[in-house]
């Protein structure tokens, strides 16, 4: 028992070691060469170490921004960034996150095998992020231990097939019928953009007929764009904060302080991204070979940038429209006394850009602009409503920036308020809801497939 206890303490309580062990097992099962097994395991462990270093860098910048916003505007400002909130969560929820991710991947394969939802979710970092969100909100509403991991794994597995199925309502219009699916947890915003586009414009009036000026080309590099926008945010905060900015800057001028904090924030994002890439590059391949055997008819559900080549101009216009929507929503939140969500470049670029592609596919230029604008409002208001469900993480000055993290967190938080007196009842309610969601999605998918087959036969 002493040896077992030490093993649990040294392995299962250490996310870096646990993920490394998972990579080791996955690569060994696939009979990879010894050199590849050692390399993959080491990279997975290093990824978690790098993730923590990036989190510390980014948090140091956010800790400077919050008092500036409070002093200048009398409000608390939160910058949505998935990488940041996940990295912070790992200090207390790392083991739960890792276990939910692993068992969620297995649940994805089982559900895809047994239902018409033949999707294998290959966007590993979003799997990781959703696992972190689930570990946080399920823990906040009262679940812990094995119950937390089992419920979280089931919910994650369901989401990994249901959300690609939801995106498929418009994905074929985006890709021209290619057999790929979208695996990204901003799907509610993409679906909304596609729906709005179909109501406000015509697909024939594509925004790809128009071209943006070359002066906006820097938006294509998300790190450069992040640095520019965060510099603007810090400059505005410094101007508004007055003496508080001078106090925080210390020996520096306030303008050098603003510049360095913006660059520090961006450097933290870059470090975290590198850590996540290392983790995912070794975990996901361990499941790809297995999925090919378990789900022979599977469709790969890929990251949102897979849509970018189909409408590159829509990506940039969608980003700008989503960002404008975020700014207006931020002002509205401040006016009614809710936490102020400062528009983050990362979610608005990737999610807003993809929303622009979906809106353009169904409604041309007007669909692109209005659909992405609606997405910007959605992810800003959603971020504000999500904060209370995150427990202690709600005070971290950052939060999840994409719509599916938000609605899932808000929903589970609401279930906690209703059933929180009984953890068993709460777990059952969450399982029943997501089970019903899975069943409904399977029925819709089967009917959609039947209609498509009838059309082809006709």
Output the pLDDT for position 458: 38
Output the pLDDT for position 227: 83
Is 70 exceeded by the pLDDT of residue 290?
no
- Domain boundaries, position 398: 1-438
- In a domain? residue 448: no
- In a domain? residue 273: yes
* Radius of gyration (C-alpha) of the chain in whole angstroms: 22
**Residue pair 371/358 in contact by the 8 Å Cβ criterion:** yes
Query: In 4-18, which positions are buried (b, 16+ CB within 10 angstroms) versus exposed (e)?
Result: eeeeeeeebebbbbb
- In a domain? residue 152: yes
**Predicted confidence band at 453 (pLDDT cuts at 50, 70, 90)?**
very low
Which secondary structure element, helix H or strand E, spans residue 217, and what is its range? none
Record the tokens describing residue 192, joined without a space. Answer: 């909304």
Q: What is the per-residue pLDDT across 28-37, written as a single tens digit (0 to 9) for each?
A: 877 888 888 8
- In a domain? residue 449: no
DSSP tag of 121? E
**Predicted confidence band at 455 (pLDDT cuts at 50, 70, 90)?**
very low
Output the pLDDT for position 393: 62
Is 50 exceeded by the pLDDT of residue 456?
no
Burial class (CB in 10 A: 0-12, 13-18, 19+), 208: middle
Terminal-to-terminal C-alpha distance of the chain: 67
- In a domain? residue 1: yes
Comparing C-alpha atoms, which of 71, 95, 387 is closest to residue 247? 71
What's the sign of the alpha-carbon dihedral 122, 126, 132, 136?
A: negative
Output the pLDDT for position 14: 61
Q: Name residues whose C-beta falls within 8 Å of residue 146's C-beta, 6 or more positions apart in sequence.
A: none
**Residue pair 181/301 in contact by the 8 Å Cβ criterion:** yes
Is 60 exceeded by the pLDDT of residue 420?
yes
**Residue pair 400/85 in contact by the 8 Å Cβ criterion:** yes
- In a domain? residue 450: no
* % of the chain exceeding 90 in pLDDT: 26
- In a domain? residue 95: yes
**Residue pair 106/371 in contact by the 8 Å Cβ criterion:** no
The torsion angles phi and psi of 95, rounded to 5 degrees, stand at -65, -45
Distance between CA atoms of residues 183 and 314, nearest Å: 19
The CA–CA distances, whole Å, from 75 to 71, 246, 339, 406, 421 equal 8, 19, 7, 22, 33
**Residue pair 398/136 in contact by the 8 Å Cβ criterion:** no
Comparing C-alpha atoms, which of 286, 289, 307, 272 is closest to residue 87? 272
**Predicted confidence band at 76 (pLDDT cuts at 50, 70, 90)?**
low
Which secondary structure element, helix H or strand E, spans residue 340, and what is its range? strand 340-341
Output the pLDDT for position 126: 87
Q: Name residues whose C-beta falls within 8 Å of residue 195's C-beta, 6 or more positions apart in sequence.
A: 362, 371
What angle separates helix 34-73 from helix 254-294, to the nearest 10 degrees? 140
* % of the chain exceeding 70 in pLDDT: 85
Domain count for the chain, please give it.
Answer: 1
* Mean pLDDT value across the chain: 82
Burial class (CB in 10 A: 0-12, 13-18, 19+), 120: buried
The torsion angles phi and psi of 366, rounded to 5 degrees, stand at -70, -40
- In a domain? residue 446: no
Distance between CA atoms of residues 333 and 339, nearest Å: 7
Q: Name residues whose C-beta falls within 8 Å of residue 314's C-beta, 6 or more positions apart in sequence.
A: 206, 207, 208, 353, 356, 357, 359, 360, 368
Distance between CA atoms of residues 251 and 247, nearest Å: 9
Q: What is the per-residue pLDDT across 193-210, written as a single tens digit (0 to 9) for each?
A: 999 999 998 888 888 887
Record the tokens describing residue 107, joined without a space. Answer: 């649940």
The CA–CA distances, whole Å, from 224 to 25, 171, 276 equal 38, 29, 19
């Amino acid at each position: 028992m002493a040896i077992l206890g030490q093993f649990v303490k040294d392995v299962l309580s250490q996310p870096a070691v646990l993920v490394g062990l998972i990579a080791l097992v996955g690569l060994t099962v696939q009979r990879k060469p010894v050199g590849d097994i050692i390399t993959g395991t080491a990279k997975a462990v290093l990824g978690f170490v790098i993730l923590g270093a990036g989190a510390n860098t980014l948090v140091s910048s956010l800790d400077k921004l919050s008092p500036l916003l409070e002093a200048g505007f009398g409000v608390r400002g939160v910058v949505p960034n998935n990488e940041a909130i996940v990295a912070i969560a790992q200090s207390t929820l790392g083991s739960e996150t890792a276990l939910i991710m692993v068992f969620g991947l297995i649940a994805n394969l089982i559900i895809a095998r047994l239902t018409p939802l033949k999707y294998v979710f290959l966007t590993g970092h979003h799997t990781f992020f959703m696992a972190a969100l689930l570990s946080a909100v399920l823990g906040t509403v009262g679940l812990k231990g094995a119950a937390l991991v089992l419920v979280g794994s089931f919910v994650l597995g369901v989401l990994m097939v249901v959300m690609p199925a939801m995106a498929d309502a418009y994905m074929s219009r985006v890709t021209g019928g290619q057999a790929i699916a979208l695996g990204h947890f901003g799907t509610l915003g993409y679906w909304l953009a596609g729906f709005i586009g179909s109501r406000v414009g015509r697909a024939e009036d594509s925004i790809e007929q128009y071209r943006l000026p070359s002066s906006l080309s820097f938006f294509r590099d998300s790190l450069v764009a992040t640095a520019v926008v965060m510099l603007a945010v810090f400059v505005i905060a410094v101007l508004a904060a007055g003496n508080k900015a001078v106090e925080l800057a210390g020996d520096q001028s306030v303008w050098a302080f603003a510049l360095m904090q913006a660059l520090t924030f961006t450097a933290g994002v870059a470090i975290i991204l590198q850590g996540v890439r290392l983790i995912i590059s070794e975990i996901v391949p361990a499941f790809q070979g297995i999925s090919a055997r378990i789900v022979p008819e599977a469709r790969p559900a890929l990251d949102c940038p897979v849509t970018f080549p189909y409408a590159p101009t829509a990506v940039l216009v969608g980003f700008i429209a989503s960002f404008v929507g975020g700014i207006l929503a931020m002002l509205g939140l401040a006016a009614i006394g809710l936490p102020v969500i400062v528009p983050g470049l990362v979610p608005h670029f990737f999610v807003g850009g993809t929303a622009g592609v979906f809106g353009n596919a169904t409604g041309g230029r007007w669909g692109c602009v209005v659909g992405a604008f609606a997405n910007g409002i959605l992810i800003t208001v959603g971020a504000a409503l999500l904060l209370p469900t995150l427990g202690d993480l709600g005070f971290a000055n950052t939060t999840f920036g994409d719509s599916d993290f938000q609605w899932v967190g808000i929903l589970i938080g609401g279930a906690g308020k209703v059933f929180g007196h009984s953890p068993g009842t709460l777990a059952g309610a969450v399982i029943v809801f997501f089970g019903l969601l899975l069943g409904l999605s399977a029925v819709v998918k089967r009917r959609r497939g039947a209609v498509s087959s009838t059309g082809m036969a006709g």
